[in-house]
Chains A and B, each alone.
Chain A
Amino acid sequence: MAKRTENTVKLGFFITVGVALFILGVYLIGTQENMFGQNFHVSSIFGNVNGLQPGNNVRYSGINVGTVEKIVLLNDSTVEVRMRIEEKVRPYIKKDAVASIGSDGLVGSMLVNISPGKGEAPMIEEGDVIASYSRVKPEELLNTLGKTNENIALISNDLLRITNYMTRGKGTLALLLRDTTLAIGLRESIYNLQATSRHLAATGRQLQGLVGEVEDGSGLLNQLLYDTTVIANINTSISQIDTLAEKAMPFLEELQRSAEEISASGAMLKTAMEQLAEGEGTAALLLRDTAFASSLAETMRNIEQGSARFNENMRAMRHNIFLRAYFRKKRKHGEAPPP
C-alpha cells in the first residue's frame, strides 16, 4: 500500500513536470507572437506586401517589437497591414515613423521594418496609420541589373579595342606608355617645374620683405599708401595742370593749324620734288642737264669778269672830268662812294 502511494507521488511529479513543460512551450511561443502582455495596434497601407503573412515579425530599429496581426485587401491596389506592437516601445515610436516591408536575410521570412521619422513628432497612438515606403522590388532590381550588364558588355568591348590599339603602339596613350624619351622629357619638365616653383617661392619671400618695408618705411610707396597729405598735394598739382592745359589750348590749336599748313606745304613740296625727279620744268633741267650747268658756270665766269671790268670802268669814271663833280657832291652829303 505504501509503495502504491509512493508510485502515485512519482506519477504526480511526472504529470506536473510534463504539464509545466507544455505550459512553458505555449508561453514562449505566445510571447514570440505577442499574445501576452499589453499591446497596441497600428496599421500601414502598402501597394504590395511581397508575401507578408499574419504572424510575421515587426521590427523597430532592428528589434522585434511585434507581429503582423492581419492583412486586409482594401481595393485593387492597396493592402492594409495591421500590426500588434508591444506597449512598452510606444514612447519611442512617433507619428511620423515609416513602415517598409523587408526580409530576414536573403532566404528568411518577410517582416515589417518601422524606421524612425525625421524631426519631432508626437507619440504614436492606438489605431494610427503610419506612412509606408515601398522598397525596390527584386524584379525591378534584376531588370536594372540586366541593362547594366548590357552596358558593361559594350564598355568591355570598347576597352578591349582600346587596349589592342595600345598594345600595337597606336595613338597618343600608347606613345605615352612606350616612349622612353618622352618619359625622360617629362621628368626633366617636372624638375624644371620644381626649380621654377622654388624661384617663385623665393620671389614671394622677397615680395613679402618688400611689402614689409613698404609698411614700415617712409618711401614714396609708403607715403602713397599711408600719407594722406601726399594725395592732397597730388590733387592740387593735377588741378594746376588742368588750368595750364586750358591756357595752352589756343596755342595748341594754332600749332595744329600751322602743322596742317606745313603738312600742305610738304605735300606741295613733295609734288615739286616728284616733278623734279621726273625731269619736268626748268629747275629739273637745272639739276639734271650737265651741259647746261657747264654753260651756266661759263656764263657766271663771264659775268664775274664783266663786273670786274665794269668796276674798273667805274673807278675810271670817278676820275673823269665830267663826272668828278657828281661824286664829290655825294661825298659831301655823306653817301658812300661806289666801289
Chain B
Amino acid sequence: MATTYFQRSGLRRYLKETGEVWLFARRFFSEVYRRPFEWRELLHQCYIVGNQSLFLVGMTGLIMGLVLTLQTRPTMEDFGAEAYMPAMVGVSIIREIGPVVIALICAGKIGSSIGAELGSMKVTEQIAAMEVSGTNPFKYLVVTRILATTLMIPLLVIFGDAVALFGSFLVENMKGDVSFQLFFNKVFRQLSFGDLMPATIKTFFFGFAIGLIGCYKGYNSQKGTVGVGRAANTAVVVASMLLFVLDFIAVLVADIFFDL
C-alpha cells in the first residue's frame, strides 16, 4: 500500500526526474570533450541565445535601473542620503538583481524555445532520424545548446547590468544633478571584487542550468503536441526554480570565500 502511494506520489516523480537530470548532465560532460566538435552549430546557437536576446535583456535592464532608482530615491531622500543612491543602486544591480532578473528573463525566452524546439524534433522523430543517419543528436543538439547558454548568459547579464546602471543614471541625472563621471565614480568606489566576481561566476551556473533543463525537457518530451507544450512550460518553471536555488547556494559560498 505504502509502495503504491510512493509510486503515485509527486515525490517519486521528483526524485526520478532529479536522477535523470543528473544523468543527463553527466552525459553532457562526457560528450563535451569528445570529438568531433560542432563549432558551427555552437556559434549558431550562441547567436540565437546571445544576439537574439539582446533587445529583451536591454529593455529589461533599462527598466530595472529606472524603476529601482525611482522607487528607492524618495526613501533615501527622507534620510538625506540621496548622495548614496549610485552606490546603493550599483551594489544592488551588480550583486543580485541584475544576474537573477536577467537569468529569469533568459530562462523564459531561451529555456522555453530550447524545450519547444527539441520537443518538436523529438515528436517529429527528427532526433531518431539523426541517430539512424549516424549523427550524434545529443552532441549536435544538446551539447551545443548547453554550451551556448553557459557562455552567453554571463555576457547578457554584464550587458544588462551596464544598461541598468545607465537607466539609473538617467533618473539620477533628471531628479538630481549628478554628472555621468560622478555617478560611475560613486558606483565603482562602492563596488569591490567581492561584489563583481561571485555575481559573474554564478551567471555561468545560471546559463548552464537554463540550457540543461531546456534540453532535458525537450529531449525527453512525451509524444504529441501536448508533450511539446508541456516540455516548453516545465522547462521554464523548473529552470526558474533552479535559478533561485543556485542563487541561494552562490550567496552562501560567496559569503564564505569573499567575506561579504
Contacts from A to B (Cβ < 8 Å):
4, 7-8, 10-11, 14-15, 17-19, 21-22, 25-26, 28-33, 55, 64, 107
Residues of chain B in range 162-207 having any CB-CB distance to chain A below 8 Å: 162, 184, 188-189, 191-193, 195-196, 200
B155 close to A19 (CB less than 8 A)? yes
6 further A-B pairs in the complex, CB-CB below 8 A; given A4-B40, A11-B47, A18-B155? A7-B51, A10-B47, A21-B158, A28-B191, A29-B191, A29-B192
Q: Does B28 contact A (CB under 8 A)?
A: no
Q: How large is the interface on B (under 10, 10 to 19, 20 to 34, 35 or more residues)?
A: 20 to 34
Bound-state CA distance A182–B220 (Å) is 110
- CB-defined contacts of B158 to chain A, threshold 8 Å: 18, 21-22, 25
A28–B155 Cα distance when bound, in Å, is 18
User: Is the pair A28, B184 in contact by a Cβ cutoff of 8 Å?
Assistant: yes
Query: DSSP class of A's interface residues: helix, strand, loop or mixed?
Result: helix
A residues less than 8 Å from B106 (CB atoms): none
Task: Name the residue of chain A whose CB is nearest to the CB of B194.
Answer: A55
Whether, in the assembled complex, B232 has its beta carbon less than 8 Å from a beta carbon of chain A, the answer is no
In the assembled complex, which residues on chain B have CB atoms less than 8 Å from the CB atom of A107? 81
A261 to chain B, nearest CB (A): 109
Query: Contacts A28-B184, A29-B192 known; A14 to B155 CB distance under 8 Å?
Result: yes
Q: What are the 5 closest A-B residue pairs judged by CB atoms, nearest first?
A: A18-B155, A28-B188, A11-B47, A7-B47, A21-B158
Contacts A8-B47, A11-B46, A29-B196; A17 near B159 (Cβ below 8 A) = yes
Distance in Å: Cβ of B159 to nearest Cβ of chain A: 6
Shortest beta-carbon distance from B107 to chain A in Å: 19
Contact of A22 among B184, B192, B200 (CB under 8 A): B200
- The answer to whether B50 touches A21 (Cβ under 8 A) is no
Expressed in whole angstroms, the Cα–Cα distance for A301 and B92 within the complex equals 156
Q: Which A residues are CB-close (under 8 A) to B47? A: 7-8, 10-11
Tell me which residues across on chain A come within 8 A of B162, comparing CB atoms: 21
Q: Which residues of B contact A11 (CB under 8 A)?
A: 43, 46-47, 50-51
A33, B191: Cα distance in complex, Å: 10
B188 CB → nearest A CB, Å: 4
When C-beta atoms are compared, the residue in chain B nearest to A8 turns out to be B43
The reply on B254 being an interface residue by CB < 8 A is: no
Indicate which residue in B159, B189, B192, B193 contacts A21 across the interface (CB closer than 8 Å). B159
Q: Is B251 an interface residue, CB under 8 A from the partner?
A: no
Residue from A14, A25, A64 in contact with B54 in the complex, judged by beta carbons closer than 8 Å: A14
Q: B44 within 8 Å of A by Cβ?
A: yes
> Which of A15, A17, A29, A33 has the most chain B CB within a 10 Å cutoff?
A29
Inside 8 A of A29's CB, which chain B residues have their CB? 188, 191-193, 195-196
> Which of A18, A33, A64 is within 8 Å of B159, CB to CB?
A18
Taking CB atoms, residues of chain A closer than 8 Å to B155 are 14-15, 18-19, 22
Cβ B159 vs Cβ A26 within 8 A: no
Contact partners of B40 in chain A: CB under 8 A: 4
17 A–B pairs (Cβ distance < 8 Å), ordered by A: A7-B44, A7-B51, A8-B43, A10-B47, A11-B43, A14-B51, A14-B54, A15-B155, A19-B155, A21-B158, A26-B196, A28-B188, A28-B191, A29-B196, A31-B188, A32-B191, A55-B192
Residue of B nearest to A9 (CB): B47
- Provide the bound-state CA to CA distance between A11 and B189, in Å: 32
Question: What are the interface flags for B48-60 relative to A under an 8 Å C-beta threshold, 1 for contact and 0 otherwise?
Answer: 0011001000000
* Binary interface encoding of chain B residues 7-45 relative to chain A, with 1 for a CB under 8 A from any of its CBs, else 0: 000000000000000000000000000000000100110
In Å, the complex CA distance between A64 and B188 comes to 14
Q: Which B residue sits closest to A5, measured CB to CB?
A: B43
Distance in Å: Cβ of A337 to nearest Cβ of chain B: 150
Tell me the nearest residue of chain A to B162, going by C-beta: A21
Among residues of A, the one whose C-beta sits closest to the C-beta of B49 is A11
Q: How far is the CA of A112 from the CA of B250 in the complex (A)?
A: 33
In the complex, what distance in Å separates the CA atom of A32 from the CA atom of B186?
10
Cα–Cα, bound, A168→B47 (Å): 93
- Tell me the complex Cα distance, A17–B155, Å: 9
Select from chain B the residue with minimum beta-carbon distance to A18.
B155
Bound Cα distance from A25 to B190, whole angstroms: 12
Contacts of A8 on B, CB cut-off 8 Å? Answer: 43, 47
With a cutoff of 8 Å between Cβ atoms, the chain B residues found around residue A25 in the complex are: 94, 158, 188, 191, 196
Q: Give complex CA distance A55, B51 in Å.
A: 37
The smallest C-beta distance from A270 to any residue of chain B, in angstroms, reads: 106
The residue of chain A having its C-beta at the shortest distance from the C-beta of B54 within the complex is A14
State the Cβ distance, A11 to closest chain B Cβ, in Å.
4
Taking a contact as CB atoms under 8 Å apart, the answer to whether B184 and A14 are in contact is no
Contact assessment for A32 and B189 in the assembled complex, using a CB-CB cutoff below 8 Å: yes
Which of B54, B188, B192 is the most central at the interface, judged by chain A CB atoms within 10 Å of its CB? B188
Q: From residue A22, how far is it (CB to closest CB) to chain B in Å? A: 5
Q: Please indicate the chain B residues that have their CB under 8 angstroms from the CB of A26 in the complex.
A: 193, 196
Identify the closest chain B residue to A54 (Cβ).
B259
Complex Cα spacing A32 to B195, Å = 13
Residue of B whose beta carbon sits closest to that of A4: B44
Query: Smallest distance from the beta carbon of B236 to chain A beta carbons, Å?
Result: 24
Q: How many angstroms from the CA of A20 to the CA of B254 in the assembled complex?
A: 24
- In residues 200-254 of chain B, which contact A (Cβ within 8 Å)? 200
CA distance A188 to B256 in the complex (A): 86
- A10 CA / B54 CA spacing, docked (Å): 11
CB-CB nearest in chain A for B148: A11
Residues of A within 8 A of B156 (CB): 18
